Amino acid sequence: MPRLLIATTNPGKLREYAAIFADLPLDLCTLADLGIQDDVEETGATFAENARIKAEYYAQRSGLPTLADDSGLEVAALGGEPGVRSARYAGPEATDAERNAFLLRKLEHVPFHARLARFVCVIALALPGGPIEFVEGVLPGVIEFEPKGHYGFGYDPIFYVLDEDATLAELPPERKNQISHRANAARAARDVLRRWLDEGWPGP
């Protein structure tokens, strides 16, 4: 079965991709599966630049077609922060709960109608030494006043989705996988992967 490297160490992301690509005849492998422990520095100023850096590096390192993404939260009242710094916003060693608390403190006096935000995910699909294709997904929402729900990870407990009347962390994983920014980007990526399969998979 053709192999696709999912260049992440985040088990939550991997589960989401595995669910969304379940209908494709692909063997999804991870950096850990290949024994790759290199950590590439994300120096890009945009989600697309960071996704490219990771996809190019790990495609070359593994010799496999590689999917890498960069995603994060953009809050309008904070000028688009935390953006590409979403995972490091409260410090490099902060937990998900600490990042959420840090963001909520920054919005402490901001009313609900002014707490507009969006999740963005850019996926880069790279071939070793070859071209890169990009797809993007977006999910609009509002930042809650306190964490709610026990599903998901990251900022999910404080990201309220108006159409669902719930935070992402209150939605069962199967529902989140239908509407999330990563799901939207992954569905677009699935179309690219299906084309690669139809054209003859460009790798082992």
Query: Would residue 11 count as lying in a domain?
Result: yes
Nearest to 157 by CA among 148, 165, 166, 175: 148
State yes or no: 106 annotated in a binding site.
no
pTM of the full predicted structure? 0.89
Q: How many domains does the chain have?
A: 1
β-bridge mates for residue 141, sequence order: 117
Examine the pLDDT at 137 and tell me if it is beyond 90.
Answer: yes
Query: Would residue 116 count as lying in a domain?
Result: yes
Query: Would residue 204 count as lying in a domain?
Result: no
**102: CATH:** 3.90.950.10
Query: Would residue 35 count as lying in a domain?
Result: yes
pLDDT of residue 200: 87
Catalytic residue of the set 23, 38, 70, 163 = 70
Please indicate whether residue 33 is annotated as part of the active site.
no
Query: Would residue 203 count as lying in a domain?
Result: no
> What tens digit of pLDDT does each residue of 152-187 get?
889 999 999 999 999 999 999 889 988 999 889 999
Locus of tokens 């669910």:
19
Q: What are phi and psi of 140, to 5 degrees?
A: -80, 150
One-character DSSP codes across 29-94: EETTTTT---------SSHHHHHHHHHHHHHHHHSS-EEEEEEEEEEGGGTT-BGGGGGGTT-TT-
Q: What is the span of the domain harbouring residue 177?
A: 3-198
pLDDT of residue 42: 87
State yes or no: 12 annotated in a binding site.
yes
Locus of tokens 């608390």:
101
> What tens digit of pLDDT does each residue of 77-116 get?
999 999 999 999 999 899 999 999 999 999 999 999 999 9
Query: Would residue 83 count as lying in a domain?
Result: yes
* Helical (H) or strand (E) element with 18: helix 11-20
State yes or no: 41 annotated in a binding site.
yes
